[in-house]
Amino acid sequence: MQIVNTVCELRRAVKIWRSAGESVAFVPTMGNLHAGHLQLVRMARKNADRAVVSIFVNPTQFGAGEDFETYPRTEREDQEKLTGECADLLFQPSVTDIYAPDAKTTVTVAGISDWYCGASRPGHFAGVATVVSKLFNIVQPDSAFFGLKDFQQFTVIKTMVRDLNIPVEIIGVDTVREPDGLAMSSRNGYLTDDEKRVAPKLYQSLCAARDVILDGNQTYEEVEQRALQFLQQAGFETDYFSVCRGSDLTKAAAEDVDLVLLAAAKLGKTRLIDNIYFSR
Ligand code: PAF
C-alpha cells in the first residue's frame, strides 16, 4: 500500500491509474479504524480497480468543547489494518494540506444540516460537507463508500453530490455491530465497562420501536416518547429519537412507506448515535 501525505503526491498516483484506464473507489475516514471501516474498504475494492482510503481528523466538523484534540489517533494500527485489506493507497494529509489559512469557501446543505445531530452540533455538517467535497475534488473517485450508521451524514452527502453535480457515486454500507448489537464506532472506546453494558440498549430501543410501528397500534409521537423514556430509564441522556422519512429525513407521515428511525443519546461523556431503516 502506498502512503502519501500531500495533495500533489495523491494526484500523481491517481493520474497513473487513470491513464491505465483504471477505476477508483474512495473511503474517507477519520482513522481509528474498526470493522465497520474495513467493511467499507472491502466494498470499495470489489467495486473498482483501485481503492483509496483517507485518514484525516477534520477540525471543521468538531464544535467548541468537542473531542477534536482527544479524538483517537492510531496511525500505525490503521496502516496495518489497511495493508491487511489490500487498500491501494492511504492519503494522510495534515490540516495545512487541506485548509489554506485564509480559506473562504464552505459547503452547506441547507435544512437537513440543522436537524437532529445538526441541532446539537451546529456547523458539524458544514464541516463534513466541506471536507468531503474537497476530498472528492482531490481524489476524483468514481465511487465513495460511507457507513449507514451515520445516516444523516450519508443523506447530507448524497444531497450535496446531487445538488452540485459531483460525478461520484455515493454508496451506503450497512452498519457493522458488536455481537450485543452496539453499532461499531470510533467513540465506543470512550465507554467505561458499566456504560458498555448499557450502550446496546440504544439499538434495542430502535428495534422495539420498529416492531411497534410495524404492528401499527401507536402513533409515531407515542413511539418516540416511549423510546425516549426507555432510554432515560436505562441511564442515557437523550438528544432525539425520531421517526423520519427515509428519502429526506423529514418527519414521517402515516402514508410514508420507507422509514428511518434516528436516535442520539449520551452515556456519561460519550455521545452515541444509531438508526434503523425499514419499509412498512
Ligand atoms: O464519517 C467520518 O468519519 C467523517 O465524518 C468523514 C466522512 C470522513 C468526513 O470527515
3-state secondary structure (DSSP) of residue 270: strand
Q: Atom 2 in ligand 1: which residue has the minimum CA distance?
A: 29
Class of domain 2-173: alpha beta
Nearest to 17 by CA among 139, 135, 161: 139
- Determine the Cα–Cα distance for residues 36 and 61; give it in Å rounded to an integer: 20
Between helix 35-47 and helix 75-84 the angle, nearest 10°, is 40
Residue of 113, 150, 168, 170 with the most ligand 1 atoms within 8 Å of its CB, for mutation: 150
The domain segmentation of the chain, as residue ranges, is: 2-173, 186-279
98 lines ligand 1 (CB under 6 A): no
Catalytic residue annotation: 37
Nearest to 48 by CA among 129, 144, 184: 144
Tens digits of pLDDT across the chain (280 residues): 999 999 999 999 999 999 999 999 999 999 999 999 999 999 999 999 999 999 999 999 999 999 999 999 999 999 999 999 999 999 999 999 999 999 999 999 999 999 999 999 999 999 999 999 999 999 999 999 999 999 999 999 999 999 999 999 999 999 999 999 999 999 999 999 999 999 999 999 999 999 999 999 899 999 999 999 999 999 999 999 999 999 999 999 999 999 999 999 999 999 999 999 999 9
87 lines ligand 1 (CB under 6 A): no
CA 30–ligand 1 middle distance (angstroms):
6
In CATH, the architecture of 186-279 is 2-Layer Sandwich (3.30)
Half-sphere exposure (Cβ direction) of 241: Cα atoms closer than 13 Å:
27
Nearest to 127 by CA among 53, 168, 66: 66
CA 29–ligand 1 middle distance (angstroms):
5
3-state secondary structure (DSSP) of residue 178: coil
Nearest to 25 by CA among 2, 54, 1: 54
Half-sphere exposure (Cβ direction) of 88: Cα atoms closer than 13 Å:
20
128 lines ligand 1 (CB under 6 A): yes
- Predicted TM-score (pTM) of the model is 0.97
CA 141–ligand 1 middle distance (angstroms):
16
170 lines ligand 1 (CB under 6 A): no
Q: What are the cell numbers at 77?
A: 494500527
Question: Exposed (0-12), middle (13-18) or buried (19+): which is 273, by Cβ within 10 Å?
Answer: buried
Half-sphere exposure (Cβ direction) of 105: Cα atoms closer than 13 Å:
6
CA 220–ligand 1 middle distance (angstroms):
30
